[in-house]
Amino acid sequence: MTLTRTQVGIVGGGPAGLMLAHLLHVAGIESVVVETRSRREIEQTHRAGILERDSVRLLVESGASDRVLRDGHEHTGIDLRFGGVSHRIDFQTLVGASTWLYPQTEVFVDLADARSRDGGDVRFEVSGVSVLDVTTDRPGIRYTDAEGGEHEVRCDVVVGADGSRSTTRALVADRRQYFREYPFAWFGILCEAPPSASELVYARSEHGFALVSQRTESVQRMYFQCDPTTSADDWSEDRIWAQLQADLDGEDGFELRTGRILEKTVLPFRSFVCEPMRHGNLLLAGDAAHTVPPTGAKGLNLALADVRVLAEVLERAISRQDRTALEEYTPRALSRVWRAQHFSYWMTTMLHRSAEASDFDERRQLGELESVVGSESGSRYLAEAYTGWPEPTQSTTISATRSTAAEASSAREASASSTVSGTASGT
Ligand code: PHB
């Protein structure tokens, strides 16, 4: 048995675990990350692609990624499409903020590179992970490496960032779990085609929901609502394009640019929260503690928001020996989590068709969409939630997002890409 002593042991080397390890490194705190998958396997798993303004800020300001500003695409709004007509929700005009299209796989690559660059200790392809003694001041992680060697890591704190199928979560003895299942799923495709729209289109039609997203000039990401029991193999390319086009048809003649389909996946929907997010010296982060349906792209952003709070709390607990700081983690993280749960649920139920929906439900749903696009207050709620609620400490962000529409337009120059790139270069 090889024994390693470190300050923070992190189970899970996805974006949450690696971002936390990076932030701790910046704060002068050592960590060891253990991950069951290989780096290559994580890099090849396609996930959502939208980063909130403060997620971009965190990546850039912490020195984890400058590529997000070079290779990512700033989106200043989305289209909500219903009744065959597109309605623009202009984030910049409404709240002076943007989002960035930058796929989760790229975030992972940047974080893994940053860990290698900074000499971080990340151990991929381990098995048999178990977490020990979380209610003592010397918790640990045991695992077997790819060659069969046995290892133990002893630390001050263990963080469970091991995704939605978390095993560390089970150690939160007094946890309460909140679930919601949905009667639909998303059928996601990656295809070789030029972009059909320059920014995201969230569409609701009598056939169901569709989302037009992008990846590069020649590869696109799209989704449509499907039955959760459907099999990707039952969908030919022609059937997929017919479904997507039907979801997007309208009087403006919107036409998808089609091409070879490179990947098909069915994504189940679930809302889930585990409370509390801490038990003794074990703290949960990201999907290990909560999952949201993908409508609104909150999953990765919530994970990054968790670890931003967690890094700060751990810095106080470990470097300044203020153990009471750990008590702040659950309430601070959960306040954002439940807002994001509501937003993701709301976007989902507003835009998807349920087989059980009555005519009344259908008309009410259209009334809801009209209320959002037809009212500045309605649109602003969506814009504020979609671009991400500002953290109280970021004063420039708050003043930009809380300003009136008129002020927001002058704040526009100072916000989004210029603020993010400006702060990155220290201005
Ligand atoms: C994506 O590009 O994969 C994406 C974008 C927005 C969402 C979900 C997924 O709400």
Ligand 1 lining (C-beta closer than 6 Å): 48-50, 200, 211, 213, 221, 294-297
Q: Does residue 426 carry a pLDDT above 60? A: no
DSSP code at position 253: -
pLDDT tens per residue across span 403-424: 333 333 333 334 433 344 333 3
Pairing relationship of beta strands 99-101 and 73-75 according to DSSP bridges: antiparallel
- Residue 363 has a CB neighbour count (10 Å cut-off) of 11
d(CA 358, CA 129): 48
Distance 157 CA to ligand 1 centre (A): 33
Q: Does residue 141 carry a pLDDT above 50? A: yes
Distance 313 CA to ligand 1 centre (A): 30
d(CA 345, CA 350): 8
d(CA 377, CA 381): 6
d(CA 73, CA 133): 45
pLDDT at residue 68 in the model: 97
pLDDT at residue 390 in the model: 84
Helix (H, G, I), strand (E, B) or coil at 134: coil
Query: Looking at the annotation, which residues are catalytic?
Result: 75, 202, 294, 298, 386
pTM: 0.91
Q: Which atom of ligand 1 is nearest to 296's Cα?
A: 10
Distance 49 CA to ligand 1 centre (A): 5
Burial of 273 (0-12, 13-18, 19+ CB in 10 A): buried
Taking CA atoms, 119 is separated from 17, 21, 122, in Å, by 16, 11, 9
The residue whose C-alpha atom lies closest to atom 2 belonging to ligand 1 is 49
pLDDT tens per residue across span 200-235: 999 999 999 999 999 999 999 999 999 999 999 999
d(CA 301, CA 54): 9
- What are the φ and ψ backbone dihedral angles of 271, each rounded to 5 degrees? -110, 135
Q: Does residue 427 carry a pLDDT above 50? A: no
pLDDT at residue 45 in the model: 87
Q: pLDDT exceeding 70 applies to what percent of the chain?
A: 92
- What would the mean pLDDT of 337-344 be, rounded to a whole number? 98
Residues 6+ apart with CB under 8 A from 427: none
DSSP string covering 268-306, please? EEEEEEEE-SEETTEEE-GGGTEE--STT--HHHHHHHH
So where are the chain's domains?
A: 2-76+98-178+270-355+393-423
d(CA 110, CA 100): 15
Beta-ladder partners of 275:
176
Flag the least confident range among 40-54, 123-137, 363-377: 40-54
Q: Which atom of ligand 1 is nearest to 297's Cα?
A: 10
- 333: tokens are 């993280």
Q: Which atom of ligand 1 is nearest to 295's Cα?
A: 10
Q: Omega into 392 within 30° of 0, i.e. cis?
A: no
Taking CA atoms, 77 is separated from 8, 349, 362, 403, in Å, by 39, 20, 26, 18
Flag the least confident range among 39-48, 104-113, 216-225, 395-404: 395-404
- C-alpha dihedral, 50 to 25 to 126 to 130, nearest 10°: -100
Q: Which of 78, 91, 190, 211 to mutate to test the pocket of ligand 1 (most atoms within 8 A of CB)?
A: 211
Distance 328 CA to ligand 1 centre (A): 31
| Mean predicted lDDT score pLDDT of the chain | 92
Most distant pair of Cα atoms in the chain: their distance: 68
pLDDT at residue 190 in the model: 97
d(CA 331, CA 216): 39
- 359: tokens are 């005519």
The residue whose C-alpha atom lies closest to atom 4 belonging to ligand 1 is 48
- What would the mean pLDDT of 387-391 be, rounded to a whole number? 89
Nearest to 78, CA basis, from 88, 69, 63, 66: 88
pLDDT at residue 403 in the model: 36
Helix (H, G, I), strand (E, B) or coil at 323: helix
- What would the mean pLDDT of 136-162 be, rounded to a whole number? 98
- Taking each helix axis as running N to C, give the angle between helix 299-314 and helix 15-26, from 0 to 180 degrees, rounded to the nearest 10: 30
pLDDT at residue 417 in the model: 39
Flag the least confident range among 105-114, 355-364, 367-376: 355-364
2-76+98-178+270-355+393-423 placed in CATH 3.40.630.10: no
CA 168 to mean position of chain CA atoms: 20
Query: For residue 15, what is the enclosing H or E element?
Result: helix 15-26
Distance 360 CA to ligand 1 centre (A): 29
Q: Residue 398 — very low, low, confident or very high, per pLDDT cuts 50/70/90?
A: very low
Nearest to 34, CA basis, from 145, 166, 187, 133: 145
- C-alpha dihedral, 103 to 105 to 107 to 112, nearest 10°: -170
Q: Residue 376 — very low, low, confident or very high, per pLDDT cuts 50/70/90?
A: very high
- What would the mean pLDDT of 328-338 be, rounded to a whole number? 97
Nearest to 308, CA basis, from 127, 94, 52: 52
Q: Which atom of ligand 1 is nearest to 214's Cα?
A: 2
